[in-house]
A and B are shown apart, each in its own frame.
Chain A
Amino acid sequence: MSTSVDAEQAWRDLQRIRVPQERVYDEFERSASGGRGTAYGTAALMWVFLAGVGIGLPRWGVGLLAAGYVGLLGVVIVTGSRRRRMQLHHTRCPGRMWASFGAMAGLVAGTIVLADHFTKALEPISAGLVQATAGAAVYLLSLGPANRWAADSVRSGGGPEAGEEPGR
């Protein structure tokens, strides 16, 4: 059996496609901007790691701390991903998402370098704590805006089905 579809019906179908896809973008935005527990958890882990590095541990201590940090970060990420109700398709992850991730990493790293520069006169332990606090604070402050910016780009650059008008 063959279905005959006129232009109006085809146009309606193309519009219909957008509705469920908007639900996906809503969910992505919600999960990106939410997760306060995950944000504070990762910031706390970062603080402990940076403070540990900053107080001048021996090389093996830093290695152990880094392994623990990566391991715990992995646990937080896996726990977070298990709670997710869907995962955005990789073709829907625009460059802006990775750019915001890179910018955040750069911002935190820059803050740590700057804090290191300004705390040279302090005791190593105090300097380490200041650097860790500054780094974790910048991470927490930039996380929300970076996530929102990335989520906006997913919706606006949502790909051929969602972003383009038929007939273009």
Chain B
Amino acid sequence: MSTPAGFDELIHPATRLSVVALLAVTEWADFAFVRDSLSLSDSALSKQLHTLEGAGYLEIRKEGGGRHRRTKVRLTDRGRTAFEGHVAALRAIVDNAAPATGAVLRQTPTEAGR
């Protein structure tokens, strides 16, 4: 099966998709907020963030010092475009599925998601 244009292999893994999805609705988010929201460990999140940062999809900025040190994460324009393209590709896959399957998927998302 071929994947539609816009499908992003880098964003596709579940954890990275969740990280990017969260950042897509924010201007920026605290590292701690992302970690708590996705129930990830510091190291697991850090690894995913650095992978995405390496691809130019997000920026990591450290602010303040000492006890007030904060790490802010922001999706770049490139990351936002990639996420939007990936979502569009996922939608295209669902839409291009056989009409009957598509109807079932749309009507019973919970069952289809099992």
Q: How many A-B residue pairs have CB under 8 A?
A: 127
Instruction: Confirm or deny: A1 has a beta carbon within 8 angstroms of a beta carbon on chain B.
Output: yes
> What number of B residues sit within 8 Å (CB to CB) of A?
37
Instruction: Confirm or deny: A144 has a beta carbon within 8 angstroms of a beta carbon on chain B.
Output: no
Nearest CB in chain B to that of A9: its residue: B93
Q: A118 → chain B, closest Cβ, in Å?
A: 44
Those of A102-137 within 8 Å (CB) of chain B: none
Of B14, B95, B96, B113, most buried by chain A (CB within 10 Å of CB) is B113
Tell me which residues across on chain B come within 8 A of A6, comparing CB atoms.
1, 93, 97
Of the candidate stretches A36-44, A56-64, A84-92, the one touching chain B is: A84-92
Nearest CB in chain A to that of B92: its residue: A10
- Docked-complex contact A8 and B25, CB < 8 angstroms: no
Q: Which of B30, B33, B97 is within 8 Å of A7, CB to CB? A: B97
Instruction: Confirm or deny: A24 has a beta carbon within 8 angstroms of a beta carbon on chain B.
Output: yes
A interface secondary structure, majority = helix
Nearest CB in chain B to that of A87: its residue: B27
Nearest CB in chain A to that of B28: its residue: A87
Those of A4-23 within 8 Å (CB) of chain B: 4-8, 10-21, 23
Q: B57 → chain A, closest Cβ, in Å?
A: 15
Also in contact, A17 and B21, with CB within 8 A (given A7-B105, A11-B109, A27-B33): yes
Of the candidate stretches A66-74, A145-153, A157-165, the one touching chain B is: A157-165
Q: Which 7 A-B pairs have the closest CB atoms?
A: A7-B97, A20-B22, A10-B93, A23-B37, A85-B33, A86-B29, A17-B21
**A contacts, CB < 8 Å to B:** 1-8, 10-21, 23-25, 27, 85-90, 92, 158-162, 165-167
Could you name 26 residue pairs across A and B whose Cβ atoms are closer than 8 Å?
A2-B3, A3-B7, A5-B1, A5-B93, A6-B97, A7-B93, A7-B101, A10-B91, A11-B94, A11-B105, A11-B112, A12-B113, A14-B90, A15-B113, A16-B14, A17-B87, A20-B19, A24-B29, A27-B37, A86-B30, A87-B26, A88-B26, A89-B26, A160-B87, A167-B95, A167-B102
